[in-house]
Copies of this chain bind each other. A is one copy, B any other.
Amino acid sequence: MDIEKVNSMDFREFVDVFGNVIERCPLIAAAVWSQRPFSNLEDLEKHFFAFIDALPLSGQEGILRCHPDLAGPELQRGTLTPESQREQSGAGLMNLSAAERLRLAELNARYQARFGFPFVLAARLSDREAVPRELARRLRCLRAQELSTAMDEVKKIGRLRLADLLGSDFPKP
């Protein structure tokens, strides 16, 4: 898909295509449409990230809270968004042993109790061994630092999803 095609979309089509670049936050794609025309694909991405960065702290936490758990019950039930389902499956999170699943559920619960938002990680850049290790590490971080790390992961996920939609010319993180 080239940038002329993106710039020609009405807002319904744009939200249909880009509505889940930020997980379960079509509002963000719907807001970014106001900034068209986009000069190129990086410019489109820049507007997604600028909108996120301009949100108040509660809004950034809100984005995180719209993300599902990694290896949570929704993955097993198949009720994730198609993007999340693909990403988590690709990282091998469908094939965990019962003990691994239990360990992750316990870490997820401790993380959420501590920070008030779920653990967010670009699963496609990770794997089933790294996920619990990274979760345990980030669980020990300070809240402000952890919010910033988590928002960086949101952007990595968004960049990978944009790259899928826009073709391989778009550099991956």
Contact = CB atoms under 8 A, between A and B. Distances in A.
Contacts of A54: 56
Contacts of A32: 58, 62
A10 B65 CA distance: 11
Interface in A8-62: 10-12, 15, 24-35, 51, 54-59, 61-62
B58 A27 contact: no
A54 to B, nearest CB: 6
A14 to B, nearest CB: 9
A11 B58 CA distance: 12
A163 interface: no
Contact of A65 (B30, B51, B63, B66): B30
A117 interface: yes
A62 B24 CA distance: 14
A65 B112 contact: no
